[in-house]
């Protein structure tokens, strides 16, 4: 999949992405709600896996103006072919600039309009208010809270599940932010 917005490009990873990927995957602040920061070797393995995969589920997120890899987006089947999961990791230096919303919105549009998906879901943990706000801004509804479901950095955290149905996407004009 290759997808473009005004400021961003979503593409497959290449082996040349290792250094820039390590900038965010190895950064403790960027990874604080995801998992432990990656080592350089883990980053190489991550890139090798997704660069070689024809049916990639994780895509490189590139800022068009600078050409820099600023994070990645996750978009893959979730339980069945008509339901997909959306996820994102954006380097801390590029957060709070609307990039996550911009590409997530483009993926919703692509998923519902081109792929004819029935539903798109997403998950986040309790302290990640920015992600929860972004998912709500996309028109996603909180569907479940799994109490103390995830153990991150020595602490049990609640996991929040969000989703949006195709019929709600088309009915909700607030989702159509161009």
Residues 76 and 26: their CA atoms lie apart, in Å, by: 24
Q: List pLDDT tens digits, range 105-127.
A: 999 999 999 999 999 999 999 88
> For the segment 116-174, what is each residue's pLDDT rounded down to a tens digit?
999 999 999 988 999 999 999 999 999 999 999 998 878 899 999 999 999 999 998 55
3-state secondary structure labels for all residues of 80-100: ECCEEEEEEEECHHHCCCCHH
**Residue 89 pLDDT > 70, yes or no?**
yes
State how far the Cα of 69 lies from the Cα of 80, in Å rounded to an integer: 30
Q: Please report the pLDDT score of residue 178 as a whole number.
A: 41
Helix-helix angle 99-109:129-137, to 10 degrees:
40
**Mean pLDDT over the full length of the chain:** 92
**The pLDDT value given to residue 52:** 79
Q: How many domains does the chain fold into?
A: 1
- Ramachandran class of 141: left when φ > 0, alpha when ψ lies in -120 to 50, beta otherwise: beta
Q: Give the model's confidence band at 79: pLDDT under 50 very low, under 70 low, under 90 confident, else very high.
A: confident
Domain holding 161: CATH number? 3.40.630.30
Maximum pairwise Cα distance, the chain? 46
Mean pLDDT of 67-95: 95
pLDDT of 177:
42
Q: What is the pLDDT of residue 2?
A: 87
The pLDDT of 48-63, averaged and rounded, is: 85
Residue 163 lies in domain: 3-175
Residue 56 has pLDDT above 70, yes or no: no
With cut-offs at 50, 70 and 90, classify the pLDDT of residue 69.
very high
């Amino acid at each position: 999949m290759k997808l473009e917005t005004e400021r961003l490009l979503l593409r497959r990873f290449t082996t040349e992405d290792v250094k820039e990927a390590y900038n965010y995957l190895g950064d403790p602040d960027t990874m604080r709600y995801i998992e432990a920061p990656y080592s350089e070797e883990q980053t190489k393995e991550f890139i090798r896996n997704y660069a070689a995969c024809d049916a990639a589920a994780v895509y490189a997120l590139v800022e068009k103006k600078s050409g820099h890899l600023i994070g990645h987006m996750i978009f893959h089947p979730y339980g069945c072919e008509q339901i997909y999961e959306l996820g994102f990791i954006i380097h801390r230096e590029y957060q709070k600039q609307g990039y996550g919303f911009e590409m997530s919105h483009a993926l919703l549009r692509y998923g519902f309009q081109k792929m004819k998906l029935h539903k798109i879901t997403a998950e986040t943990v309790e302290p990640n208010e920015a992600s929860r706000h972004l998912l709500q801004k996309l028109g996603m509804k909180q569907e479940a809270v799994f109490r103390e479901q995830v153990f991150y950095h020595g602490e049990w955290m609640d996991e929040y599940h969000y989703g949006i149905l195709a019929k709600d996407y088309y009915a909700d004009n607030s989702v159509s932010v161009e």
